[in-house]
Amino acid sequence: MDVDSDKKKDENKEKDKKKEDEKKEEPPPPPLTLRQELNQALLLLEKYVGAREVRFMAHALRLLPQLRRKVQEGPAKAVPTLVTTVSQTLAPSNPTRKLLLTQLEALAATLPAEAEADAGKDDPMEEDGAEKKEAAKRSMLPEAEMYVGVVVLSLLIDAKATEAALATSKVLFDRLGTWNRRTLDPLSDRVFFLTSWAHERAGCLDTMRSPLLAAYRTACLHHNYAGVAQLLNLLLRNYLHYKLVDQADKLIAKATFPEQAPNSQLARFLYYNGRIKALQLEYSDAHRCLLQATRKAPQTTGTKALGFRLAVHKLSTIVQLLLGTIPERTFFREPNSKGPMRPYLKLVQAVRLGDLGPFRAAMEEHAATFTADGNMTLVMRLRQNVIRAGLRNISVAYSHIALSEVAAKLQLDHPEDMESIAAKAIRDGVLDATIDHKAGTLRSTEQSDVYSTLEPGAAFHKRITFCLNLHNDAVRAMSYPFDAHKDQLPDAETVKERQREEQELAQSLAEEDDEDF
| pLDDT at 468 (0 to 100) | 94
Q: What is residue 403's predicted lDDT score, i.e. its pLDDT?
A: 74
Q: For the chain, what percent of residues have pLDDT higher than 90? A: 9
Among 169-178, 469-478, 501-510, the minimum mean pLDDT is found in 501-510
**Cβ-contact 426, 434 below 8 angstroms:** yes
| Average pLDDT estimate for 51-57 | 83
Residues 6+ apart with CB under 8 A from 37: 63, 66, 67, 70
- Per-residue pLDDT band at 12 (split at 50, 70, 90): low
**pLDDT score of 424:** 75
Q: Is residue 27 pLDDT above 60, yes or no?
A: no
Higher pLDDT residue, 351 or 135? 351
pLDDT at 517 over 60: no
Are the beta carbons of 384 and 399 closer than 8 angstroms?
no
Residue 391: how many other CB atoms lie within 10 Å: 24
Per DSSP, 436 falls in state E
Q: Residue 418's pLDDT is what?
A: 74
State yes or no: pLDDT of 121 exceeds 70. Answer: no
Give mean pLDDT, residues 408-425: 73
Measure Cα distances from 402 to 58, 276, 341 in Å.
70, 41, 38
User: What's the CA gap between 163 and 146, in Å, rounded?
Assistant: 20
pLDDT digits (tens, 9 = 90+) for 204-220: 888 888 999 999 999 88
State in Å, rounded, how far the first CA of the chain is from the last one.
98
Q: Is the pLDDT of residue 2 over 60?
A: no
Q: Can you say how many angstroms the Cα of residue 281 is from the centroid of all Cα atoms in its chain?
A: 23
The dotted CATH code for 400-453 is: 1.10.10
Q: Is the pLDDT of residue 165 over 90?
A: no
Work out the pLDDT band at 449, boundaries 50, 70, 90. Answer: low
Lowest mean pLDDT among 93-107, 142-156, 227-241, 402-416: 402-416
- What backbone phi and psi angles, to 5 degrees, belong to 411? 60, 50
Question: Model confidence at 17, in pLDDT bands (50, 70, 90)?
Answer: low
Kindly report the three-state secondary structure assignment for every residue of 183-241. HHHHHHHHHHHHHHHHHHHHCCHHHHHHHHHHHHHHHHHCCCHHHHHHHHHHHHHHHHH
Please say if the pLDDT value at position 469 is more than 90. Answer: yes
Q: What is the pLDDT of residues 268-320, one digit of tens each?
A: 999 999 999 999 988 889 999 999 988 888 877 666 778 888 888 899 999 98
pLDDT at 490 over 70: no
**Mean pLDDT value across the chain:** 79
Long-range contacts of 284-293 (CB under 8 A, 24+ apart): 284/323, 286/315, 286/319, 287/316, 287/319, 287/320, 287/323, 290/315, 290/316, 290/319, 291/316, 293/267, 293/268
All residues at 6 or more sequence positions from 496 whose CB lies less than 8 Å from its CB, including other chains: none
In the prediction, which pLDDT does 117 show?
Answer: 39
388 band by pLDDT with thresholds 50, 70 and 90? confident
Query: What one-letter code names the amino acid at 127?
Result: E
Q: Which of 371-375, 399-403, 500-504, 512-516 has the lowest mean pLDDT?
A: 512-516
Classify strands 433-436 and 400-402 as parallel, antiparallel or unpaired: unpaired
Q: Are 355 and 386 in contact (CB under 8 A)?
A: yes
pLDDT exceeds 90 at position 470: yes
How far are the Cα atoms of 25, 90, 142, 176 from residue 181, in angstroms, in the given order? 50, 18, 9, 9
The pTM (predicted TM-score) of the whole model is 0.73
Q: CB of 397 within 8 A of CB of 406?
A: no
Q: What pLDDT, on a 0 to 100 scale, did the predictor assign at position 30?
A: 66
Q: How confident is the model at residue 255 (pLDDT cuts 50, 70, 90)?
A: confident
What single DSSP character describes residue 447? P
Residue 58 has pLDDT above 80, yes or no: yes
Letter for the amino acid at 284?
Answer: S
- pLDDT number for residue 136: 45
pLDDT at site 120: 41
For 111-202, where are the alpha helices, taking DSSP H only?
113-122, 129-137, 142-158, 162-178, 185-202
Please indicate whether residue 404 or residue 120 has the higher confidence score (pLDDT): 404
Please tell me the predicted confidence (pLDDT) of residue 21: 57
Which residue did the predictor score with more confidence, 352 or 393? 352
Residue 22 scores a pLDDT above 60: no
* Residue 124: band (very low, low, confident or very high) from pLDDT cuts 50, 70, 90: very low
Out of 172-176, 353-357, 417-421, 457-461, least confident range: 417-421
pLDDT bucket at 128, cuts 50 / 70 / 90: very low
Average pLDDT over residues 182-191: 86
SS3 402: strand
Q: How much is the average pLDDT of 346-373?
A: 85
